[in-house]
């Protein structure tokens, strides 16, 4: 199957096809290679080669466990959860705590964050992006991760719940607390005076 044809298929169809013929797993890899690598890079501070290794380990685990995937669930949440677990395992293995996120805050994401955090003052967008990245990096990993999933990965509360294996209410609480802590840091650092 050609790459373009792979990308046009729905996840459930790709999983079904892969279960019938393992060569279709290539399609799953092509579809999720970019998004998962971005996600891994956003929540870690590891070298690009190590991020690639985590991505490959994610695909290996997904391939090995594909028979156990429940087709009634959302595949993207399932594979993101595998990536999440690989990152956590990597931190435990090397006792490597993430110090920063490699975010790509674009104008749309920036406006959403500004709206959610009630940042109404005028500030140079480039400066705001840089300062927000810096402040997000100061958050604990549990808050940093939900901010990345919600704003940069555009995941719903249900998807975030599936990925981090916490109840939806807990996800809401984590996001609320993350925004409160970010607002506190914004005020403390006076980024929009």
Span 149-176, mean pLDDT?
Answer: 92
Which pLDDT does position 127 carry in this prediction?
66
Helix axes 168-189, 125-137, angle to 10 degrees: 120
pTM: 0.69
Give the model's pLDDT for residue 53. 94
Q: Which residues, in sequence order, are CB contacts of 30 under 8 Å at separation 6+?
A: 3, 6, 7
pLDDT at 47: 86
Task: Check if the beta carbon of residue 75 is closer than 8 Å to that of residue 92.
Answer: no
- Level-2 CATH architecture, domain 107-189: Orthogonal Bundle (1.10)
Region of poorest pLDDT, from 20-29, 73-82, 135-144: 135-144
Query: Where in the chain are all domains bearing CATH 1.10.10.10?
Result: 107-189
pLDDT tops 60 at residue 24: yes
- The CATH topology of domain 3-94 is Rna Polymerase Sigma Factor; Chain: A (1.10.1740)
Higher pLDDT, 133 or 117: 133
CA angle centred on 13, ends 22 and 9, rounded to 5°: 100
Give residue 99's pLDDT: 47
For the chain, percent of residues with pLDDT exceeding 90: 46
Q: In the chain, which segments carry CATH 1.10.1740.10?
A: 3-94
Choice between 73 and 34, residue whose per-residue pLDDT is larger: 34
């Amino acid at each position: 199957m050609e790459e373009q044809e792979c990308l046009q298929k729905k996840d459930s169809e790709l999983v079904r096809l892969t279960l019938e013929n393992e060569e279709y797993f290539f399609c799953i890899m092509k579809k999720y290679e970019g998004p998962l690598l971005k996600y891994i890079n956003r929540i870690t501070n590891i070298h690009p080669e190590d991020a690639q290794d985590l991505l490959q380990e994610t695909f290996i685990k997904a391939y090995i466990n594909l028979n156990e995937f429940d087709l009634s669930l959302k595949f993207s949440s399932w594979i993101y959860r595998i990536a999440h677990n690989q990152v956590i395992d990597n931190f435990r293995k090397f006792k490597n705590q993430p110090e920063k996120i490699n975010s790509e805050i674009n104008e749309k994401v920036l406006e959403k964050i500004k709206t959610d955090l009630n940042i109404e003052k005028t500030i140079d967008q480039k400066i705001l992006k840089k300062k927000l990245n810096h402040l997000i990096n100061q958050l604990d990993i549990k808050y940093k991760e939900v901010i990345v999933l919600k704003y940069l990965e555009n995941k719903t509360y249900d998807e975030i719940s599936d990925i981090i294996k916490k109840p939806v209410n807990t996800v809401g609480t984590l996001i609320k607390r993350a925004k409160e802590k970010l607002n506190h840091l914004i005020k403390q650092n006076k980024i929009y005076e």
